[in-house]
Every structure is written in C-alpha cells, then in structure tokens.
Amino acid sequence: MHTIEPYYNWRGFYIASEDIQSPFFEREYSEFEFTDSIYNYCIHPQWDNIGSPTLFLKILYAEYDSGYAVIELFGEWNDVVQNDIMTFKRDIAEHLMLNGINKFILIAENLLNFHGDQEDYYEEWFEEVEDQEGWIALLNLRQHVIDELKDFDLDYYFLMGGELEEMDWRTATPAQFIGRIEQYVQKRLSL
C-alpha cells in the first residue's frame, strides 16, 4: 500500500498545500516518514489525512473561477464505523464550496471498499451543489463499490457509470480532463 501515490503529474498546474483556499494550505509532507496507515499498512506520505483512519485523499486540482475540484480518493470509505461522509462533507466539501467549488470530480480507482449507512449527508451535499448548479461525479469505481453504493441508493446523488467507469484521465491536462467530464455531464443531464 505504501507504493500507491496520489497522482503527481498535475503538480505543475496545482498544489493544494500552496493554495490559500485549500483545506490543506501550508500542510507539510515528508518523502521519507510514513506517518499514516490503513489497517496497519503504511501508506504513502503524500496522501492527505482527513481524520478518518481508513479514507485518505488528494486534491489534484481546484479551479475556483469555474467551480471545479478534482479529488483522488484512497482507502476504504466507511460510513458504518467512521461516518466518513460526514467528515468528508464537513471538512473538505464545505470548505471548498465556501470558496466557490460546486462541481466535484472524485477519482475512485483507489477506493478499495465502501461501507454505506445513512444517506443524510449525501442528500445534503447533493442538494447544496445542485442549488449552485453543480454536481458530483465519481470516476473509475470498482464494481463491488458500485454495487454497495447502489444497495444504499446512493447512486442517485452521484453521476457515475457509462464513460465514467473506465476513463483514462492521466493523459490529459486538468483543463482537458475537466472539459471531457463537463461534456459528458451535460449530455447526461440533458437526457
């Protein structure tokens, strides 16, 4: 697990620890000390700890003028034990929303498990971004994570599936990637 790093090729475009509007502004990282772990497995020190013992993330890109944030997820999203949605919504999403973000792109290929519970915070987050003409997209989910989201009817709150299931995003610049997502979202919302 310690070899799985957040995507770093967009660092020339954006670094969350250097963004005064980011919840991770001025956070310092080590390349050598492994301070976080998931179930006793050390994880790469570049992942951002959000206060959950199993869910970590990295804000790869934020564009406040147009309202976009691209966030890579890592670990296990557990609403049953940790109520990770509350932590994510209150400490990350709301902070970004206060700074103009209303379109969230969550890259979930490294989201290894999902354990659902209540849908209150999902509904609240969905309504808040929808009121601002925004949306929440989930990309590259593992099938068992999709199944769990659907079992709890949480797929209602996210744009997912279709082209978003296996999107090659690493070959694009942030602007190109966001443009592709925006085109897809507009097609989906116009149906």
Domains in the chain: boundaries: 16-190
Cα Rg, the chain, nearest whole Å: 16
Domain 16-190 listed as CATH 3.30.750.24: yes
pLDDT at residue 118 in the model: 86
Rounded alpha-carbon distances, angstroms, from residue 45 to 1, 28, 73, 122, 132? 11, 10, 14, 28, 34
pLDDT at residue 120 in the model: 92
Q: How many CB atoms lie within 10 A of CB 21?
A: 14
Q: For a pLDDT cut of 70, what percent of the chain falls above it?
A: 99
Q: What SS3 class is residue 30?
A: coil
pLDDT at residue 154 in the model: 94
**Which pLDDT band holds residue 129 (cuts at 50, 70, 90)?**
very high
pLDDT over threshold 90, residue 114: yes
pLDDT over threshold 80, residue 144: yes
pLDDT over threshold 90, residue 189: no
pLDDT over threshold 90, residue 2: no
| CA 26/CA 86 separation, integer angstroms | 24
Region 9-15: mean pLDDT is: 97
Provide CB contacts within 8 A for 5, sequence distance 6+: 44, 46
Rounded alpha-carbon distances, angstroms, from residue 130 to 74, 100, 103? 26, 13, 9
How do residues 87-99 score in pLDDT, each as one tens digit? 999 999 999 999 9
pLDDT at residue 188 in the model: 83
Helix, strand and coil content of the chain, in percent to the nearest 5, comes to 35, 25, 45
Long-range CB pairs of 10-17, under 8 A, 24+ apart, other chains included: 10/60, 10/61, 10/70, 10/173, 10/174, 13/61, 13/173, 13/174, 14/59, 14/60, 14/61, 14/62, 14/174, 16/48, 16/58, 16/59, 16/62
**Which pLDDT band holds residue 19 (cuts at 50, 70, 90)?**
very high
